[in-house]
Amino acid sequence: MNIRTLVTFGALALATLGSFPVIAQTDEFIAGQVTKVDESAGKITIKHGPLKKFDMDEGMTMVFHAADPAMTKTVKAGDKVRFVPDRINGQFTVTKIEKAK
């Protein structure tokens, strides 16, 4: 195997890895209500119920980092939402959010 083949193989392997979510459990939507949106900081404050995933036994209001800054334009304070929380680089992050129907 020459170096060119190795590089190509490596790039392919990386591309394949990148197409799968590293943590499979992240798609669990939970209910919440947006209390504040900070568009410039890319943060969304959400009141949520118990969140076992993060050992939060009681509901609380907390600030989440928006994984995609565009999210701050799709919801506003007062909106009832369902969202997927995750912890990315130690930061509580919303990876998905949509208005509850």
Applying CB under 5 A, the residues found at the interface with Cu ion are 56, 60, 62
Output 60 or 77, the one with its CB closest to Cu ion: 60
Output 41 or 60, the one with its CB closest to Cu ion: 60
CB of 1 to Cu ion, least distance (A): 50
On whether the CB atoms of residues 31 and 49 are closer than 8 A, the answer is yes
CB of 80 to Cu ion, least distance (A): 17
CB of 74 to Cu ion, least distance (A): 21
Output 30 or 62, the one with its CB closest to Cu ion: 62
